[in-house]
């Protein structure tokens, strides 16, 4: 009934979809297994993509040839560029999305991807021979053969949903949990753990009084995620709203605390500190009189509303009563209660940088199974796992991104070397080279690599190369071109910046904090005409490269320094246990992770600088 | 300081006590063969059959020739400083004897230790962490009570306490910056530019203080550079010897131990005074006369203390006033020391007391009033602040890290002045976190995030 597949992907969420698409595009024969074909690419939580650091990841996925950017663009209902008031490295695209359209676009895209087959059933186990995976077992007892398997089970592995004192098995509300895989992997020697996350209630938009809330509009000139021409920016957008909890809401919530699974110890798994439930917020920050609530539509046409900021696992009657005390929610009707979910994960220190497991050959993990949270984090891992599964069986070199290449590189390096205690989310502060890892240059950083491995298509590459050469030409011109005092001094005064005495290059002017390219071109009509022949993204790129040149150079020097450490290889057979001087923790962690380079060793949590000095001495530096 | 693995297997030997100082010298061996090698030259009990932490009397012999009577202390691995077999041989403190014994041990298979190699072995064998190893090295090199105290403090974490306070404050500052970057959309109150400025200025003051303490720390470790200035025959050498004899009750009486070595450093009240350019002092030129010569002036300026010494019987007031004037222009703290009190006329003394009431009257030859001179010296260098438990940086690596930390904090400050956005400020802050981390252990993003999450309600 089934051929022997190159890659079987288990799970069709953000990670699974990217993995299946990438592997198939690179020529692998792929089977995508999901428990329910109607819920492919469900946004289980908020109907939004991107945000600070996450938006950069979506652009990186797109630059490499993944689909998350294009799908997000096609299902977008609102766009905002966050952090505009800060430097360009902080600008972060974020979109509100139509939940149903998002899932539909993904399904259509996969259906149109050659080499992707589908199978709807629960996968209950792996077929393993000689520590190598060679297929999966299904719920009804089928065995499907493959050369590699990518597990992207999300919250489904032994998922337990909590609402107040009620608890039941499930991977998402209304969907069954997946059983069997954890038990088998533990038997094979994997270490497993438990994590927790939560989601807020959904309400009927027709029952809300928006006149009592602040309106939150999208950007006037919306942008998009994908670098390709396949998508266009929105021409109309939906608005969101902001409202607040109050003391009454808090009091009502507190009446349910004795029945909260969070507080009475029924939930064992560790939840994310940066995504706390509303009960957690009022419990830990009792002094705060109100908390922000984002009222987000779930799509273009649906009346369903996502109550962002109100994640909870309190009993549904308490949720309902508390919701109705929120300004504008007095008559709210609840569609679905919020809930908490516990699920199995496998500490990611058991993986290689390719996301292949150390224990079982050709078995790859991606997404929440690795202890991460977030659509973008999951999708990017799926992409890397899919790429590497495909390359491994074709006997190509692994595809790895460095910390200085991409947020995706930071994410995977952190996971493998540091592991994670709580669901791991990306922050810009996690990236030591964040001034280089910007949303405006993900294509310049990654598209060539994506093209080289056969994922990013020719038109993407050409577009990127055009942008690169146009930018280089423009930067050069801006350095050469000088403006004279008699033409621009009046304008400079208008911008409240110092006038000039002799001709000054545009480059010099651009470095002034008060001046951007948009301001400077207004000073000189001839210049404006000249600049008008360049694309917007080229102008932006040139401006950033000139304005922040010194900072960017400084970071690039640091990258080179780091790469020196990265190039210092540690023999795989190195015996850490025989070095008494290493700290107990450092010894254990080094032994477990077996870092390939001194640079990698330096990033393993529990490995102290003293341990590193000792290693350096032993390695004979 | 690196060495290859097979070198680590060697048994090393070195003199453990300072060269040429005491009546007793200790020669230390460490390594697998330490006991065996010692036993081969030792006549007494069979050392290889003795328990750890025992002391044995006997002789060291080269063939039939007795080199010295010694005490041998045994420390069997792993119960030793280096966690290897360690032997300490106490010999009489003659450098001739010491050299003979060491040469003999080398002939029997030991290898001369490189500087710091004992400490390094202790470190590599897991006896110490890096900071402690450095403190131990300092302790070993510490020649005086105050220096010893600073090293001990560091080992006990006095320095670490101060630094970890600084670290916590820097983490707080950095997370205030990061908060606005990663959580700009959150409903929390961000620190204003002015708040940030106040924070970074506070940090700078603290770093500055630690950096300044390095100069004091240096004094403790390396001694207060001191010059005795005066005409030939003012009694400079006599004074030096007088001070020396007071402090070093055990002056080596073994032939071959030269004076030159110990003359350089004198311990007064637990502080080392290092007499610079002592060769010049012994020359018969008048140092003060030579101040006009720029080279001499530079030398004098490197001193932290000058003892202006004059012979009461051989100096008139005009000369004294002229010398004092020159010294005042030099800007180095100095004491006026009138020597040969026994030879002076009373009229001249009372005149001097009137014009220069702070003159110290001594007789170096008769060792009179030397305690008073020492008290005044101590007052002048005012080292009391060292002893009140203030943290002092004595380690050049720490000093270097602190200086770099300061530079990046200054960059942060100028960034605030130039109104650059937080993402660029963060770059400089990260550098300071990195440099401070070289002392305290790495400061990671997780530290910053943990601080943010504990203080602010983050997340939707």
- What residues in B contact A374, CB-CB < 8 Å? none
The answer to the question of residue A156 being in a domain is yes
| SS3 category, A49 | strand
Give, in order, the Cα–Cα distances in Å from A89 to each of A233, A444, A481, B104, B436. 21, 14, 27, 67, 25
Same domain, A169 and A242: no
Q: How far is B3 from chain A (nearest CA, A)?
A: 7
- Whether residue A272 contacts residue B460, with contact meaning beta carbons closer than 8 Å, is answered with no
pLDDT at position B388 over 90: no
CA A178 to the chain's CA centroid: 24
Residues 79-118 of A with CB under 8 A from B: 82-83, 85-87, 89-90
pLDDT below 50 — which residues of chain A? 621
The answer to the question of residue A398 being in a domain is yes
Cα three-residue angle A284-A290-A292, rounded to 5 degrees: 100
Same domain, B278 and B413: no
| SS3 category, A610 | helix
- What residues in B contact A284, CB-CB < 8 Å? 457
**Strand arrangement of the beta sheet that strand B12-15 belongs to:** B42-43, B54-62, B65-75, B86-92, B24-30, B12-15, B111-112
Same domain, B52 and B179: no
**Alpha-carbon span B339 to B363, nearest angstrom:** 5
B12 phi/psi in degrees, rounded to 5 = -110, 155
Extract the tokens encoding A305.
Answer: 């509303």
Domain edge (last residue) among A317, A339, A361 = A339
The partner residues of B268 in beta bridges, in order of sequence, read B271
The answer to the question of residue B317 being in a domain is yes
More confident residue, A71 or B63: A71
pLDDT at position B109 over 90: no
Domain edge (last residue) among B367, B386, B405 = B386
Percent of chain B scored above 70 by pLDDT? 70
The tally of CA atoms less than 13 A away on the side-chain side of residue B43 is: 11
B13 phi/psi in degrees, rounded to 5 = -140, 145
Rounded mean pLDDT of chain B?
A: 75
- Residue A375: CB atoms within 10 Å: 26
- Closest residue to B2, CB basis, from A418, A610, A621: A621
pLDDT at position B218 over 90: no
**Alpha-carbon span B27 to B90, nearest angstrom:** 6
Scanning every residue of chain B, which has its alpha carbon at the shortest distance from the alpha carbon of A307?
Answer: B460
pLDDT at A480: 93
Beta strand A76-82 pairing with A482-483:
unpaired
Under the banding of pLDDT at 50, 70 and 90, the label for residue B459 is: low
Give, in order, the Cα–Cα distances in Å from A436 to each of A62, A84, B83. 17, 17, 48
**Alpha-carbon span B343 to B128, nearest angstrom:** 59
Task: Identify the residue whose tokens are 């007064």.
Answer: B268
Same domain, A234 and A264: yes
The count of structural domains within chain B is 3
More confident residue, A249 or B318: A249
pLDDT at B386: 43
pLDDT at B189: 78
- Whether residue A146 contacts residue A300, with contact meaning beta carbons closer than 8 Å, is answered with no
Task: Identify the residue whose tokens are 């504008």.
Answer: A328
pLDDT at A587: 86
Domain hosting A542: range is 458-550
Residues 273-292 of A with CB under 8 A from B: 273-276, 281, 284-285, 288, 291-292
Same domain, A334 and A365: no
- What residues in A contact B444, CB-CB < 8 Å? 605
The count of structural domains within chain A is 4
Extract the tokens encoding A568.
Answer: 């210092």
pLDDT at B440: 67
CB contact under 8 A, B424 and A620: no
More confident residue, A406 or B355: A406
- Whether residue B338 contacts residue B359, with contact meaning beta carbons closer than 8 Å, is answered with yes
Scanning every residue of chain B, which has its alpha carbon at the shortest distance from the alpha carbon of A275?
Answer: B459
Give, in order, the Cα–Cα distances in Å from A104 to each of A139, A156, A486, A537, B202. 26, 21, 59, 30, 56
pLDDT at position B283 over 60: no
| SS3 category, A390 | helix
Q: How far is B49 from chain A (nearest CA, A)?
A: 27
The partner residues of A306 in beta bridges, in order of sequence, read A202, A296
Same domain, B346 and B447: no
Q: Which residues of B touch A (CB under 8 A)?
A: 1-2, 4-5, 83, 123-126, 129-131, 178, 180-187, 418-424, 426-427, 430, 437-438, 441-442, 444-446, 448-449, 453, 457-460
Q: How far is A484 from chain B (nearest CA, A)?
A: 26
- Closest residue to B124, CB basis, from A272, A418, A614: A614
The 10s digit of each residue's pLDDT in A551-585 is: 888 888 878 877 777 777 888 888 888 877 677 77
More confident residue, A558 or B46: B46
The answer to the question of residue B90 being in a domain is yes
- Closest residue to A513, CB basis, from B4, B130, B419: B419
Task: Identify the residue whose tokens are 């004091």.
Answer: B216
- Closest residue to A551, CB basis, from B424, B448, B460: B424
pLDDT at B206: 83
pLDDT at B215: 66
Q: How far is B39 from chain A (nearest CA, A)?
A: 28
pLDDT at A350: 95
- Closest residue to A581, CB basis, from B123, B437, B449: B123
| SS3 category, A48 | strand
ipTM of this complex prediction, to 2 decimal places: 0.82
Same domain, A32 and A137: yes
A82 phi/psi in degrees, rounded to 5 = -80, 160
**Alpha-carbon span B427 to B416, nearest angstrom:** 13
pLDDT at A149: 98
- Closest residue to A90, CB basis, from B5, B181, B459: B181
The partner residues of B338 in beta bridges, in order of sequence, read B310, B361
Domain hosting B260: range is 224-386
Task: Identify the residue whose tokens are 């992770």.
Answer: A593
Beta strand B12-15 pairing with B24-30:
antiparallel
Same domain, B11 and B92: yes
Domain edge (last residue) among A323, A339, A355 = A339
Under the banding of pLDDT at 50, 70 and 90, the label for residue B263 is: very low
pLDDT at B396: 63
- What residues in B contact A54, CB-CB < 8 Å? none
pLDDT at position B389 over 60: no
More confident residue, A404 or B397: A404
pLDDT at B282: 37
Among residues B154, B140, B271, which one has the least CA distance to residue B216? B271
**Alpha-carbon span A179 to B153, nearest angstrom:** 58
**Alpha-carbon span A510 to B170, nearest angstrom:** 33
| SS3 category, A32 | strand
| SS3 category, A293 | strand
pLDDT at B347: 81
- Whether residue A55 contacts residue A93, with contact meaning beta carbons closer than 8 Å, is answered with yes
**Alpha-carbon span B224 to B218, nearest angstrom:** 9
Beta strand B24-30 pairing with B42-43:
unpaired
Under the banding of pLDDT at 50, 70 and 90, the label for residue B7 is: low
pLDDT at B2: 33
Mean pLDDT computed over B396-404: 76
The answer to the question of residue B42 being in a domain is yes
Element (H, E) at B57: strand B54-62
pLDDT at position B268 over 80: no
Same domain, B312 and B380: yes
Q: How far is A373 from chain B (nearest CA, A)?
A: 13
Cα three-residue angle B223-B226-B231, rounded to 5 degrees: 160
The answer to the question of residue A543 being in a domain is yes
- Whether residue B369 contacts residue B349, with contact meaning beta carbons closer than 8 Å, is answered with no
Same domain, A323 and A306: yes
- Residue B66: CB atoms within 10 Å: 11
Percent of chain B scored above 90 by pLDDT? 13
Extract the tokens encoding A409.
Answer: 């590189």
Same domain, A174 and A109: yes
- What residues in B contact A434, CB-CB < 8 Å? 423
Residues 400-459 of A with CB under 8 A from B: 418, 427-430, 432, 434-435
Provide the residue count of chain B: 460
């Amino acid at each position: 009934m089934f051929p022997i597949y190159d890659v079987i992907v288990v799970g069709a969420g953000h990670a699974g979809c990217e993995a299946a698409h990438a592997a198939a595009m690179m020529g692998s024969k792929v089977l995508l297994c999901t428990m329910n074909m109607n819920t492919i690419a469900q946004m289980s939580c908020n109907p939004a993509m991107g945000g600070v650091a996450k938006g950069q990841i979506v652009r990186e996925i797109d630059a490499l040839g993944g689909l998350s950017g294009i799908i997000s663009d096609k299902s977008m209902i609102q766009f905002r560029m966050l952090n505009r008031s800060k430097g360009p490295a902080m600008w972060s695209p974020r979109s509100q999305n139509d939940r149903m359209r998002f899932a539909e676009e993904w399904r259509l895209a996969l259906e149109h991807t050659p080499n992707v087959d589908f199978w709807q059933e629960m996968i209950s186990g792996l077929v393993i021979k000689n520590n190598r995976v060679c297929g999966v077992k299904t719920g009804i007892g089928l065995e499907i053969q493959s050369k590699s398997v990518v597990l992207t089970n999300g919250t489904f592995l032994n998922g337990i949903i909590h609402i107040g004192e009620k608890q039941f098995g499930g991977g998402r509300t209304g969907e069954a949990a997946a059983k069997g895989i954890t038990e088998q992997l533990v038997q094979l020697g994997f270490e497993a753990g438990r994590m927790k996350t939560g989601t807020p209630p959904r309400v009927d938009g027709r029952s809300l009084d928006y006149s009592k809330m602040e309106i939150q509009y999208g950007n006037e000139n919306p942008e998009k995620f994908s670098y390709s021409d396949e998508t266009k920016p929105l021409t109309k957008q939906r608005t969101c709203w902001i409202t607040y909890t109050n003391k009454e809401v808090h009091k009502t919530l507190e009446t349910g605390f004795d029945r909260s699974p969070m507080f009475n110890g029924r939930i064992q798994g560790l939840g994310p500190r940066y995504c706390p439930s509303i009960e957690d917020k009022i419990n830990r920050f009792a002094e705060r009189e109100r908390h922000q609530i984002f009222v987000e539509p779930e799509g273009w046409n649906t009346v369903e509303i996502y109550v962002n900021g109100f994640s909870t696992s309190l009993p549904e009657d308490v949720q309902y009563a508390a919701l109705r005390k929120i300004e504008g929610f007095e008559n709210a009707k609840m569609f679905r209660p919020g809930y908490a979910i516990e699920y199995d994960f496998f500490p990611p220190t058991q993986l290689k940088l390719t996301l292949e497991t150390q224990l079982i050959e050709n078995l790859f993990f991606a997404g929440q199974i690795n202890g991460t949270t977030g659509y973008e984090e999951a999708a990017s891992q799926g992409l890397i796992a899919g790429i590497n599964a495909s390359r491994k069986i074709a006997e190509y070199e692994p595809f790895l991104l460095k910390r200085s290449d991409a947020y995706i590189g930071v994410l995977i390096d952190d996971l493998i070397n540091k592991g994670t205690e709580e669901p791991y989310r990306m922050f810009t502060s996690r990236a030591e080279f964040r001034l280089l890892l910007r949303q405006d240059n993900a294509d310049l950083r990654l598209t060539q690599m994506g093209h080289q491995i056969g994922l990013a298509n020719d038109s993407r590459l050409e577009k990127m190369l055009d942008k690169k050469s146009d930018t280089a030409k423009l930067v050069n011109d801006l350095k050469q071109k000088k403006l004279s005092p008699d033409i621009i001094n009046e304008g400079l005064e208008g911008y409240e910046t110092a006038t000039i005495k002799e001709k000054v290059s545009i480059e010099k002017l651009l470095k002034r904090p008060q001046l951007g390219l948009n301001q400077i071109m207004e000073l000189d009509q001839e210049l404006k005409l000249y600049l008008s022949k360049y694309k917007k993204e080229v102008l932006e790129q040139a401006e950033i490269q000139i304005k922040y040149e010194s900072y960017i150079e400084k970071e690039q020097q640091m990258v080179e320094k780091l790469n020196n450490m990265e190039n210092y290889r540690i023999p795989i057979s190195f015996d850490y246990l025989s070095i008494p001087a290493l700290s107990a923790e450092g010894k254990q962690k080094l032994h477990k992770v077996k870092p390939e380079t001194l640079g990698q060793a330096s990033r393993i949590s529990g490995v102290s600088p003293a341990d590193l000095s000792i290693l350096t001495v032993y390695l004979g530096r | 300081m690196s060495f290859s693995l097979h070198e680590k297997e060697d048994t090393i030997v070195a003199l453990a006590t300072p060269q040429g100082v005491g009546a007793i010298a200790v020669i230390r061996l460490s390594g697998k063969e330490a006991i065996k090698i010692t036993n081969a030259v030792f006549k007494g009990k069979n050392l290889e059959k003795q328990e750890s932490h025992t002391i044995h009397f006997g002789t060291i012999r080269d063939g039939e020739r007795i080199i010295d009577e010694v005490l041998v202390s045994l420390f069997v691995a792993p119960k030793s400083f280096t966690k290897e077999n360690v032997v300490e041989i106490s010999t009489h403190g003659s450098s001739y004897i010491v050299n003979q014994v060491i040469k003999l041990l080398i002939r029997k298979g030991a290898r001369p230790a490189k500087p710091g190699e004992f400490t390094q072995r202790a470190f590599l064998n897991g006896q110490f962490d890096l900071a402690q190893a450095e403190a131990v090295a300092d302790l070993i090199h510490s020649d005086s009570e105050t220096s010893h105290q600073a090293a001990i403090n560091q080992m006990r974490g006095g320095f670490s306490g101060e630094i970890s306070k600084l670290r916590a404050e820097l983490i707080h500052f950095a997370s205030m910056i990061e908060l606005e970057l990663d959580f700009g959309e959150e409903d929390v109150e961000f620190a204003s530019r002015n708040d940030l400025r106040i924070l970074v200025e506070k940090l700078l003051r603290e770093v500055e203080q630690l950096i300044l303490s390095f100069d004091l720390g240096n004094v403790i470790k390396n001694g207060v550079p001191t010059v005795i200035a005066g005409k030939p025959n003012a009694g400079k050498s006599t004074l030096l010897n007088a001070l020396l004899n007071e402090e070093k009750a055990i002056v080596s009486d073994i032939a071959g131990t030269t004076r030159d070595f110990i003359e350089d450093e004198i311990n007064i009240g637990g502080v080392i005074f290092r007499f610079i350019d002592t060769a010049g002092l012994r020359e018969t030129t008048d140092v003060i006369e030579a101040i006009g010569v720029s080279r001499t002036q530079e030398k004098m300026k490197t001193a932290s203390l000058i003892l202006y010494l004059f012979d009461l019987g051989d100096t008139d007031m005009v000369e004294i006033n002229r010398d004092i004037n020159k010294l005042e222009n030099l800007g180095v703290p100095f004491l006026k020391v009138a020597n040969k009190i026994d030879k002076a006329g009373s009229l001249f003394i009372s005149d001097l007391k009137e014009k220069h009431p702070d003159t110290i009257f001594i007789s170096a030859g008769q060792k009179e009033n030397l305690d008073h001179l020492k008290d005044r010296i101590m007052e002048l260098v005012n080292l009391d602040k060292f002893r009140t438990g203030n943290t002092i940086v004595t380690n050049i690596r720490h000093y270097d890290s602190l200086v770099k930390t300061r530079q990046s904090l200054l960059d942060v400050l100028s960034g605030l002045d130039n109104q650059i956005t937080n993402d660029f400020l963060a770059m400089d802050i990260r550098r300071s976190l990195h440099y401070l981390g070289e002392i305290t252990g790495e400061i990671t993003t997780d530290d910053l995030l943990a601080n943010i999450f504990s203080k602010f309600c983050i997340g939707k």
